[in-house]
A and B are shown apart, each in its own frame.
Chain A
Amino acid sequence: MEYGKPEMMAVAIMRMISDGDIVFHGLASSTPMVAMKAAKALGKNFTYVTLSDGVDHDYLRPPVVASTLTANTYEGSVATFGLDEIFDLYASGKGDIAFLSCLQMDQTGRIAMSYLGGTYDNPKLRGPGGAGSATLTPVTKKVIIWKPQHDKRTFVEHVDFATTSPPLDKEFTVITTLCIFKKPAGEKLLKVDRIFPYTTLEEVKENTGWTIDQTDVPVMDPPTEEELAALKKVDPNNILHFEFK
């Protein structure tokens, strides 16, 4: 079975989830939505919370559009749990994973979501805002950023205005179309944790705005037939590809 960047990213997301985890994604998050449904289809026993207010919805109800706010993330839920309650849960330290994204990021994991260029009051591009990321990032055990691009416009040497930044004492992971960056707890800088099978460390370096001095990194195992089948099962309308057009 063939796969591309969308499937590889989704599989990388799926593999981050462990049994017993409480896992959140927000709005405009079609990639982790499909990946989390597929992780459920693989039998991973985690708790799925999102801002549809539903907990552990029926993952077999497929998305028909790329929104993460439609009925498919609520129908069949085992409980109703509002966004305010999700934030309280995570603030109490019980949230294991939050899947978040960014407009830009630098090697320290500082994330721009508010604006790009200019100043806060006179921005060149006004972004959508942090959408809770500044609240969730310091209190979540594992923040995982997914970004369906990997280029020097996104991964820059320095983010001028950080909407949020990772805490020193927690692990912080970034999944791109080419690789996984990781900042272990206690460290300040992102390093390449592993690259995907279809790329090279040289290509990652060429498309990253900061200097990567690593010379040898592991290659992630490609998606298995079972993982690809799970993605197909939960996403017959191929919403996974939306963010990669």
Chain B
Amino acid sequence: MYEKVMSLNQATDLIKDGMLLGIGGNGMHRTPTIFSMALTQKPVKELKICGTALGLAADILFATNQADTAYFGFFGLENEAGLAPGMRKAMEGAEPKARAIEGS
């Protein structure tokens, strides 16, 4: 466990183009928002994101177009904030930049 404790900068350096990331938490809670914010400062792209109930941390990566695929049962910001705007922007319309692989 000790070896897994590292700085945010070190952690985001582990992420490479095209990786599949499991993002924990549910919706707006217990989800690594600060990690995603730090990742937006790195030039990684084409990320695949999976989670049971993706929320804010995942939405950030779709808002910046760094993620192109989401595997999920739920993707949203719960009642307080509703539908996930970054995910919607990336996935809706004639030329979506990301795709949803939904399992329910």
Binding site for B on A (CB under 8 A): 26-28, 30, 51, 65-70, 83, 113-114, 118, 120-135, 163-164, 242-243
Contacts and interface: CB of A to CB of B under 8 A. Distances in A.
A66 B94 contact: no
Contacts of A68: 78
Contacts of B79: 28, 30, 66-67, 242-243
B85 to A, nearest CB: 10
24 contacts: A27-B53, A27-B74, A28-B76, A28-B79, A51-B26, A69-B27, A83-B52, A113-B104, A114-B100, A122-B94, A123-B91, A123-B92, A125-B88, A126-B87, A126-B92, A126-B100, A127-B83, A128-B75, A129-B73, A130-B74, A130-B104, A134-B104, A163-B104, A242-B79
Contacts of A133: 104
B49 interface: no
Interface of B: 26-30, 52-53, 72-76, 78-80, 83-84, 87-88, 91-94, 96, 99-100, 102, 104
A67 B28 contact: yes
A69 B102 contact: no
B29 A70 contact: yes
B27 A28 contact: yes
Contact of B96 (A26, A66, A122, A129): A122
A65 B27 CA distance: 14
A215 B80 CA distance: 39
Contacts of B87: 126
Nearest to B74: A131
Given A28-B27, A132-B73, A67 B80 contact: yes
Contacts of B96: 121-122
Main secondary structure of the interface of B (DSSP, over half): mixed
Nearest to B95: A122
In the complex, the 6 A-B pairs of residues with the closest C-beta atoms, listed nearest first: A130-B104, A131-B74, A128-B76, A134-B104, A66-B79, A69-B29
Contacts of A129: 72-76, 100, 102, 104
B68 to A, nearest CB: 13
Nearest to B87: A126
A66 B27 CA distance: 12
Contacts of A131: 53, 73-74, 104
B104 A69 contact: no
B29 A114 contact: no
A121 B100 CA distance: 8
A194 B20 CA distance: 49
Contacts of A130: 73-74, 102, 104
A113 B92 CA distance: 15
B70 to A, nearest CB: 9
Contact of A132 (B83, B100, B104): B104
B75 A66 contact: no
A66 B104 contact: no
A102 to B, nearest CB: 12
Nearest to A66: B79
The residue in A65, A67, A118 that gathers the most chain B C-beta atoms within 10 A of its C-beta is A67
